[in-house]
Structure 1
């Protein structure tokens, strides 16, 4: 039995009208997944299963389609998330503006031309591509940036959400560069370091 994290892009108030998190959990249980949980209400799905990734993709896609949605889904194992945080490639940004440092998760490693396009991007953001993730320092904030997960074909979450998901709703680290606890507690797809105090959230 292996634990998987499915990050469903674009889940929010609009999609809740046709698929609530309770409906998503129920459908996953009905599809044969075990230990099904969702964290927050933004499509963070955690489950255990004996089947491989191809079968997982097919089942989750069918669940989403049955609710009339076409949202892409990104998959990671907990160990992969731990490794992402451990890299800490932008320590200054993590220390000075942790709420502006995000990790964008992709379905596969980007092609060279895509990396070149990101390198040529003329914006204030600092960008670093590593495997299937893109670390982005939104120097001037995320809200007004043109560099969005949708534009890049990715899903997005926060590092705090990763910790909360693995600990059933408890975040227990203070910042990206001080994530000793987070290394044992990861979970999802655009990730931010935690705020400066431990925070709890409701498992939905």
Structure 2
């Protein structure tokens, strides 16, 4: 990847089996390339892309939104963009080292669209989940099946705003691949 062209992790919210009927990953890569994204690569699970883009993160998000709408995907399919450095910072902080090592699929990282989400409510959280703030992201040790934490997930959506989450393994794999691409 050219050092003059920024690399971004593009994370989609609300992607799943229903949206697969409208947009397959190979279609997303092709349309992204046409929209100016360089060497788009989808990774790990649906809704994760690494791509170069000539512009800042906001410009990358703004350029990706019409790509998604072109497939007929609604406004609920949102774009959240992070730099490889932001992903590495999350991993380096590793506030839940034991959980990340023992239960990575039950350890979630929440990425927010807002630059400064409101985390004021966290000190009052009384659930079994452990919550950590790392650079305007939430890292949550669910310590159980994530599906049993519906109350917390609804609270995060309501109080912190538009977001998408990835488990620790996915976040790690995205950061590692982004670092490899930056070296290429």
Q: Same fold per TM (> 0.5)?
A: yes
Give yes or no for contact 2:35–2:63 (8 Å, CA) kept in 1.
yes
For normalisation by structure 2, the TM-score amounts to: 0.80
Deviation at 1:25, TM superposition (A): 0.7
**Is 1:103 equivalent to 2:103 in the alignment?**
no
Q: Pairwise CA RMSD of aligned residues?
A: 2.4
Secondary structure of the residue aligned to 2:147 is coil
CA distance in 2: counterparts of 1:139 and 1:45, whole angstroms: 28
Name the counterpart of 1:197. none
Match of 2:38 among 34, 38, 45: 34
CA distance in 2: counterparts of 1:80 and 1:105, whole angstroms: 11
Measured against aligned partners, the alpha-carbon deviations of 1:108-154 in whole angstroms (never above 9, x if no partner) come to 2223xxx2223323321111122221011112221211122873532
CA distance in 2: counterparts of 1:167 and 1:99, whole angstroms: 17
CA distance in 2: counterparts of 1:164 and 1:101, whole angstroms: 14
CA distance in 2: counterparts of 1:87 and 1:135, whole angstroms: 10
- Number of equivalenced pairs: 169
- Structure 1 residue runs of 5 or longer lacking an equivalent are 169-182, 187-204
Greater alpha carbon shift after TM alignment, 81-90 vs 158-167: 158-167
Match of 1:63 among 63, 67, 70: 67
Q: How does 1:67-82 map to 2 (within 5 A)?
A: 67-69=71-73, 70=75, 71-82=77-88
Q: Where is the helix percentage greater, Structure 1 or Structure 2?
A: 2
Name the counterpart of 2:153. 148
Deviation at 1:99, TM superposition (A): 3.0
Match of 2:99 among 93, 96, 104: 93
